[in-house]
Chains A and B, each alone.
Chain A
Amino acid sequence: MAVREGLLALLQDEPRYGYQLKTEFESATGGVWPLNVGQVYTTLDRLERDGLVGVEHVDDQKRYALTDGGRDALGSWWDAVPADDPPPRDELMLKVLMAIEKGHDHALRVVTHQRTALTALLRDRRRQRATAEGTGGDLAPALVTEALIVRAEADLRWLDQCEARVMSAAAEATTRSSDRTNGGSR
């Protein structure tokens, strides 16, 4: 996960204490990515081991700062593009691909059920966002909700395409089998 890089990014401007990093990480990610303190210190230990952060002791507390190596690593991270290689493997996709193996009718049932549930989920997220906007919410949580909405939309679009493809495959199969029947009766 990108917690490492998140911590480096928070250290970009000035040194920080461990607990401060935990709080700032959670606030920057809109409250959807809670960290426990242990996880933060373990990650910081690894960053120190890899020479990406340096530690100084201030009033008996460890304060962390980026090293030159850390600054380079952070620079590369800002520039790097998340690659879809290996291909995306999510549960929804797996479920639909497996359902197709079980026949067209089963696949359509699974697609329909998933789509209905996802539509209800999208509606709930929409309401959540409307409530957040109504109370003058912060930018980070609003963008997180927007990301969830857009991803749900993408999944729904994909399910629509699955439905269309499965239906046309089913229609072709019916045509083929009736051709065979007609041929056999001749």
Chain B
Amino acid sequence: MKIIVNGEEKSITGMTVFEYLQTLDIDPRPLAIELNREILPKNNYKTTMLREGDQLEVVWFVGGG
């Protein structure tokens, strides 16, 4: 199925948000995630299944003023 991650289309198999982050080798701790424009609390990463057409925003802190 296809999902949109940070504006890019990705093809994935059915999995949770947590599992998807693992496939990307991303440490979930310093992140914040929006699923379809709603904040996805960190506690829900392991229980939230990704679905066709889902839009994910995966952000973290970078240097800034």
A binds B: no
Q: Interface of B with A (CB < 8 Å)?
A: none
Q: Interface of A with B (CB < 8 Å)?
A: none
